Amino acid sequence: MIFLLKNPIKDFPWGSRVAIHDYFDIPNPNFEHQAELWMGAHPCDSSLIQLEGDEVALCDAIVANPEFWMGSKFERYESSFPFLMKILAAEEPLSVQVHPSKSAAELGFLAENEKNIPLDSANRNYKDANHKPELVYAITPYLAMNGFREFSQIVANFDAIRLPSINELFQPFKQEPNASTLATFFSSLLSLEGGYKKQAINELLSSIPIQDEKHLMFQASVLVRRFYQLYPEDIGVFSPLFLNIIELKPGEAMFLYAGTPHAYINGMCIEVMANSDNVLRAGLTPKHIDVEELVKNTKFEPIAFENLVLKPENVKRLDCKVYPIPVDDFKFDVLTPKREMTINSASPEILFCLSDCVTILTETDSRTIHKGDSVVLPGVVGQYKVVGRGSLARAYC
């Protein structure tokens, strides 16, 4: 009733060659980019389990026996797990992106199907009909951009730089900063092409202040120059002027709502998300960017910097951090059992050992897992116990 997971690792070029291997002692014999380790039943690349002596894909096991795996969630999530958990290790920045809401994904997926756009087409926006809210839990210091800055900060950032070529685009937002004028300014900047785009980027690079670490624009300036080195012709180099820049400390978390522009820059984290591949890109990528669809799905609302970190709920037990996830697709806890803990469960669960070792016990089974190991518990388990010296990341629904 406790199944050890054998998890696929994605070798995307932005991934670190050493972080996952060094921290979790997960082999990397060919010194590849270990960008993402996937834990779950995603049909594109499912984890594997041992079932009756055979190695089978978890997604296939669920299809064969959904009531066993989904438990009381069977009727709602009959087809598969509604969540995917990852270890993400970024050496270089990922693209600036937005994920659509559930309703937008359903409409967009249907519309592109009716146009007979192949699922693997480079200009396909919607790969499925689901939304993709995400939680990020930092394992190492984790640098990212998340949500639009306060409007006054965006105005101040652009005012501090001499950008004559886009001044006409900027002025309506400066004079009346609101969601509508920001949407127009943002989309107009993303739509620049050819010599206009090149001139705007050159003006940005030549006039952005090079200051000491105490300067208000120091972080943004550093990222602009870093992004330019990687993507010298990409309008996404402007993104640090628009978006909040945050470095999560190990053990801190944040949540990313649908419609929120964001980018992961550097570091290693646990990422838990709804089971979806829908990504609308805004920059820092050679991939397809559909400005019209992006803007239609973006919330042009500021997020106060102090609201970015997701605080655990107040619970009586000091050995359990429960994060308030505002969607039904997944929940996330971190368990540090100082003594035996009893966990009541009504869904399938994935447990990943973050440190040392932990023993998991059900009525019929027990298994000790060490740092870097992960297991899946089927929904029919109902209740289990954990004890040990380490900590566990827990994803469930």
Task: Confirm if 51 and 64 have CB atoms less than 8 A apart.
Answer: no
Sequence-separated (6 or more) residues with CB below 8 Å from residue 65: none
Q: What is the DSSP letter of 381?
A: G
Tokens read off for 265: 């820059």
Q: Which of 17, 149, 226, 281 is catalytic?
A: 281
Report phi then psi at 357, rounded to 5: -145, 150
| Cβ proximity of 99 and 244 under 8 Å | no
Other C-beta atoms within 10 Å of 374: how many?
Answer: 23
Taking residue 154's Cβ as centre, other Cβ atoms within 10 Å add up to 22
Query: How big is the CA angle at 151 (ends 134 and 309), to the nearest 5 degrees?
Result: 35
The pairing of beta strand 96-98 with beta strand 243-248: unpaired
Known catalytic membership, residue 281: yes
CB 369 within 8 A of CB 4: yes
Whether the CB-CB separation of 267 and 90 falls below 8 Å is answered with yes
- Rounded to whole angstroms, the Cα distance separating 296 from 115 reads 19
Residues 386, 336: Cα–Cα separation, whole Å: 9
CA geometry: angle 264, 266, 269, nearest 5 deg: 75
Question: Which residues are known to be catalytic?
Answer: 281
